[in-house]
Amino acid sequence: MQDFNPINKHADSIAVRAGQHRGPEREHAEALYLTSSFVFETAEQAADAFGGDSVDENIYSRFTNPTVKIFQERLAALEGGEACIATASGMSAVQTLCLSTLKAGDHLLAAKGMFGSTTNLFLKFLPRWGISVDLVALSDVDAWRAAVRPETKLLFVETPTNPLMETADIRALATVAHDAGALLAVDNCFCTPVLQRPLALGADVIVHSATKYLDGQGRCVGGALVGSKALMDGEVMGYLRTCGPTMSAFNAWVFLKGLETLPLRMRAHCESALSLAQWLQTRTEVTAVHYPGLDTHPQHALAMLQQSAGGGMVSLELKGGKAAAWELIDRVQMLSRTGNLGDAKTTITHPASTTHARISAEQRAEAGITDGLVRISVGLEDVRDIQADLAQALGDQNSI
């Protein structure tokens, strides 16, 4: 049976079909290989597989599994990358990237505004392994250039950032990184390849939390790295094979089902998020709305150059600080009070006391995360119902 060739195909087709190599059973849906290891005909065949460097040989599911492989090929094709390595979580993707590309004495440059655990990994753990880290204002390209040192090997950004939706100039930072002989890694979690393809803008590695939009229905935790074949099949695979931050085959299968609807879902998330952001701007309780698709966003023009739409995430600042933020969150009736994002269900959270609670107050202030900030991951419910729930939570009468 003919395998699907992603060359010159569109994202909607790649999301549904890339990576599947149909087996002798002629299955239509992707097969789920729940097996820890694979069997050899002879001792010699086993020795050849274990001794070789081929990433195509099925040996042991810590580093080779056919279902995980379909997920890897599909995500690589969507991102326009040569290869992908799937990991157990988004954080294990970040950790795998750092520990497979950096060594003691190296220097990492990252942005001040990032997901809290990423900041913690960089500031608390990497220095224990002799890797030094500096944080720079995301949008200040000159500051990145000034902070580069001869030992700088990796630049790391999220764009848009969690939770403030700041935008990094990927092309400019790629130039800074490459002039220094370093790699640029971009966490593409908020946009997904449907809205933004950082490799085409010059980035070297994409980081994903598959837990978010790639799954899309809040079921499994996973992550991935996408980049050149040399890097992924070389150092990154070597690290994965030895250290084992592996994606389970079951989770890969669930993510494959998620990828099939990713382009459709992202379009719906974006449409509702823009409409909700515009409505939030009209509310007197709200002092700021952070959404790259609004022309009031400080980097709106850059965001619209890099992204095909604003995304599904909206943050707002409330006049009444933490008390008002918590009151809003406590009063919603339909929205889910949970820290996850990228789900079909709209979620609402208070970053300062949840997703960014474990970084210091100083680091939160540096990243611009105030006590009055609320983050909404706009789901796939009818946006009129999302808006009505928020309106009643803000105190409107008869809004539901």
What is the binding site for ligand PLP (CB under 6 A)? 89-91, 115, 118, 158, 162, 187, 189, 209, 211, 221, 223
Q: Which amino acid is at 195?
A: L
User: At its nearest, how many Å lie between ligand PLP and the CB of residue 55?
Assistant: 23
User: At its nearest, how many Å lie between ligand PLP and the CB of residue 105?
Assistant: 26
| Closest residue to ligand PLP using C-beta atoms | 90
**C-alpha closest to that of 176 among 200, 199, 147:** 147
Q: Is the peptide bond before 160 cis (omega within 30 degrees of 0)?
A: yes
By beta-carbon proximity to ligand PLP, the closer residue of 233 and 343 is 343
User: At its nearest, how many Å lie between ligand PLP and the CB of residue 22?
Assistant: 30
Give yes or no for a contact between 314 and 277, defined as CB atoms under 8 angstroms apart: yes
CA 129/CA 122 separation, integer angstroms: 11
User: Furthest-apart CA pair in the chain: how many Å?
Assistant: 76
Place of tokens 């400019």: 172
By beta-carbon proximity to ligand PLP, the closer residue of 72 and 118 is 118
By beta-carbon proximity to ligand PLP, the closer residue of 180 and 240 is 240
**C-alpha closest to that of 117 among 109, 129, 105, 125:** 125
Could you tell me how many residues make up the chain? 400
Q: How far is CA 29 from CA 17, 25, 32, 254, in A?
A: 10, 11, 9, 12
User: At its nearest, how many Å lie between ligand PLP and the CB of residue 353?
Assistant: 15
By beta-carbon proximity to ligand PLP, the closer residue of 187 and 233 is 187
By beta-carbon proximity to ligand PLP, the closer residue of 122 and 324 is 122
User: At its nearest, how many Å lie between ligand PLP and the CB of residue 158?
Assistant: 5
User: At its nearest, how many Å lie between ligand PLP and the CB of residue 329?
Assistant: 17
Distance of alpha carbon 77 from the chain centroid: 16
By beta-carbon proximity to ligand PLP, the closer residue of 59 and 173 is 173
**C-alpha closest to that of 18 among 94, 62, 78:** 78
